[in-house]
Structure 1
């Protein structure tokens, strides 16, 4: 007998997600409201809503006039979109192979990929930098895309393989009987059924890439390849920090993350709650 979702559990799961969302958005709210306030108001009442007396757009003016903000934004967008594409493509392929086919080393391969979740990629920064120097990829966006793709693959394979194991074998076997190739089964039958998991992986992959400062600082610190997070550091000095400009830059950098969340919110919630409300 098929298990049915319980209305009470469904409501509780959605309530928990909403609560976590509000908690996560509170720092964003603080950054945004302070980005349109004067410096005195930022330090005097950081949690207060801007008033006509405290309203000040000097931070946004500084960001747009000093530095190549739109160039930084474009670099972050290129790196993030390309990295997510490759993570989803290669991660889904690897997850399909691990969940669908039984071969010698299947378990060991899965464990090897799972180690990437537990071991931070930053531990290999020196080796990564040496490899990029040898390949002539320092101060290129390609270096960042390669690193972020490698960083996101273990989690993508781990999540997607669990979802792909739940895809009906009868459906895939029916496709094979109809003459579909393994590639057609993968792209036409399996991927549409794991869209919630794909959206979940996309969101959780994008956030650390977009907000990362470490690898842009190490691998691509030149003016032409700076990301938005690294570009915002130009307003942070050793002795003086332009907090209006920093908060304005961070507020503008938040926009793509919010847009992606709004686009994939339904699929994201379905992916997170799958299996928890049965």
Structure 2
């Protein structure tokens, strides 16, 4: 009984700490959204105050909707993010299953090699990546961004998912093999449902850098037809003058998809992060 109470208290403490961190992390988002509904003078005079009838102004949103094709930018960001996320989760889960399930010569070295991608930033290879995309004819295409972001997200996905898949009971998988299930069916029907919290964790941590990235869209796909929403927002930032109303409005619109995804996966995310801390 005491051990159950201790485990429950640890779980509640972990959830409480995560919720506190969430509130701290979302405070800058709150400030951006609040100021996007205010006039320029009110933004600089009282940045933490809520909009009032005297300070409320929607000029930023009107500017965003009238200048540039932000619907196209959102569509491009959504296509790149969803496609990259699907590829990272699928290929990352398959590689993690292979590393955790099958023992072969070089298994450990292969895992360490894949983990190097976490420690070495992919931006160090920007010049080589750009040369490769130019030679492949993929510059100013969404496919170039999808390939780069998939490569960027795979190391972390494999590292996290392989640790979770090692905790799946071997008896369950062996029972599936006895029943005649193929390795693919064991993977998709038995293993993946049991690691959903880990998949949600990987999805959130992978999606946010992709959606907010400015570096690779600026280098690989700067054309008007392939601009992402983060790159499109830069049109309001000038060398001498910055339209802060439009910038804050564009950032507020860009935050919404990430916030919705976080709310959808929040329970699975917390379970994935705290699963090893409450045993």
Match of 2:34 in 1: 33
Label 1:228 to 1:112 Cα distance change in 2 as closer, same or farther (>3 A).
Answer: same
- The yes-or-no answer on 1:65 pairing with 2:66 is yes
Q: List structure 1 runs of 4+ shifted beyond 2 angstroms.
A: 2-5
Q: 2:8 and 2:96 mapped to 1: Cα distance?
A: 32
Match of 2:120 in 1: 119
Label 1:46 to 1:204 Cα distance change in 2 as closer, same or farther (>3 A).
Answer: same
Q: How much does 1:3 deviate?
A: 8.2
Write out per-residue CA displacement over residues 165-192 of structure 1, whole angstroms, 9 at most, x where no aligned residue: 0000000000000000000100000000
User: How many residue pairs end up in the alignment?
Assistant: 277
Match of 1:150 in 2: 151
Q: How much does 1:105 deviate?
A: 1.0
Residues 160, 197 of structure 1: 8 Å contact kept: yes
CA RMSD of aligned residues (A): 1.1
Label 1:134 to 1:3 Cα distance change in 2 as closer, same or farther (>3 A).
Answer: farther
Q: How much does 1:6 deviate?
A: 1.2
Secondary structure of the equivalent of 2:256? Answer: helix
Correspondence list, 1:163-178, <5 A: 163-178=164-179
- The yes-or-no answer on 1:188 pairing with 2:196 is no
Residues 5, 277 of structure 1: 8 Å contact kept: no
Secondary structure of the equivalent of 1:238? Answer: coil
Which deviates more, 257-266 or 200-209? Answer: 257-266
Label 1:90 to 1:139 Cα distance change in 2 as closer, same or farther (>3 A).
Answer: same
Match of 1:95 in 2: 96
Write out per-residue CA displacement over residues 86-116 of structure 1, whole angstroms, 9 at most, x where no aligned residue: 0000000000000000011111110001100
Label 1:163 to 1:251 Cα distance change in 2 as closer, same or farther (>3 A).
Answer: same
Q: 1:124 and 1:12 mapped to 2: Cα distance?
A: 41
Residues 199, 264 of structure 1: 8 Å contact kept: yes
Label 1:175 to 1:261 Cα distance change in 2 as closer, same or farther (>3 A).
Answer: same
- The yes-or-no answer on 1:48 pairing with 2:49 is yes
Secondary structure of the equivalent of 1:36? Answer: coil
Label 1:5 to 1:184 Cα distance change in 2 as closer, same or farther (>3 A).
Answer: farther
Q: How much does 1:8 deviate?
A: 1.3
Match of 2:256 in 1: 255
